Amino acid sequence: MEVERISRYLFLFLVIFLIVLNLNSVVMAKNSNQYVLWEGLEPDQCGVAWLIKRFVNPEAKFKFVKKGTIVKEGISLDTPYSKIQRKHNQPAFEVAMNRFELKDPVLQRISKIIWDIEINKWDKKVTDEAAGLSAVIYGLAKVEKDYNQALSKSFIIYDALYAGLGGEKK
Q: Are 19 and 47 in contact (CB under 8 A)?
A: no
pLDDT of res. 18: 41
Is position 23 within any domain? Answer: no
What is this structure's pTM? 0.79
Cα–Cα distance between 160 and 154 in angstroms, integer? 10
pLDDT of res. 11: 53
Dump strand ranges (E) for 28-168: 34-38, 61-65, 75-76
Q: Are 97 and 47 in contact (CB under 8 A)?
A: no
pLDDT of res. 44: 94
Q: At what angle do helices 43-51 and 92-99 cross, to 10 degrees?
A: 20
Distances (CA, A) of 109 to 96, 126, 166: 14, 11, 10
* Tens-binned pLDDT, residue by residue, of the chain (170 aa): 676 766 565 555 444 544 444 444 434 434 478 999 999 899 999 999 999 999 999 999 999 999 988 888 888 888 887 888 888 889 999 999 999 999 999 999 999 999 999 888 888 888 999 999 999 999 999 999 899 999 999 999 999 999 999 977 66
Q: Which residues contact 7 (CB under 8 A, 6 or more apart)?
A: none
Dump strand ranges (E) for 7-152: 34-38, 61-65, 75-76
Cα–Cα distance between 41 and 133 in angstroms, integer? 13
Q: Which helix H or strand E contains 6, and what residues bound it? A: helix 2-30
Is position 170 within any domain? Answer: no
The domain containing residue 156 runs over which residues?
Answer: 31-164
pLDDT of res. 116: 94
pLDDT of res. 84: 82
Is position 140 within any domain? Answer: yes
Domains in the chain: how many in total? Answer: 1
Is position 55 within any domain? Answer: yes
Q: Which residues contact 6 (CB under 8 A, 6 or more apart)?
A: none
Cα–Cα distance between 160 and 150 in angstroms, integer? 15
Is position 10 within any domain? Answer: no
